[in-house]
Amino acid sequence: MKITILSVGAIKEKYFNDAINEYSKRLSKFTKVDFIKVNDEPIPDNASLKEEEAIKIKEGEKLLKAMPSNSYKIALDLKGEMLTSEGLAKKISEIFTYGNSNIVFIIGGSLGLSPDVIKACDYKLCFSKMTFPHKLMQVILLEQVYRAFKINANEAYHK
């Protein structure tokens, strides 16, 4: 079993990296966690919608190229399905049991994911209708994946 986090942009803030490292360490009891980062594209001030779409497409091309081919691909998308923590635990368990032993979660840059990336994914997951910084989203995602593994192992943590 392996979880991969594929994301746009580097995380420079120590507090985000500390949290990511902590949840990665906790998850190591259950699964291997890998990180693939692609460079984000600069967004000019007052970028037009057309410019923003072009940036999303460029970032999307990088994500598609970096996407592990032998994985169940989950896009973090505002139009995706919202699950409870227990629902995510069940989804992860089902993928590992009946589908694939590798799951890749894809987190877009500040403009989101391109339509091509969303189309290439097996599942669309929405954590909230609110918008979160993509750097913070990695922390939230890792915490919920850790919680899912604890739920699936019937271990205390999730209540």
pLDDT digits (tens, 9 = 90+) for 113-133: 999 999 999 999 999 988 888
28 has pLDDT over 70? yes
Write down the domain spans for the chain: 2-152
pLDDT at 82: 96
Mean pLDDT of 77-86: 95
Domain range 2-152, CATH class = alpha beta
**Neighbour-count burial for 88-118, b at 16+ CB within 10 Å, e otherwise:** bbebbeebbeeebebbbbbbbbbbbbbeebb
* Bridge partner list, 7: 37, 107
pLDDT at 148: 96
pLDDT at 156: 86
The amino acid at 123: Y
- Model-level pTM? 0.94
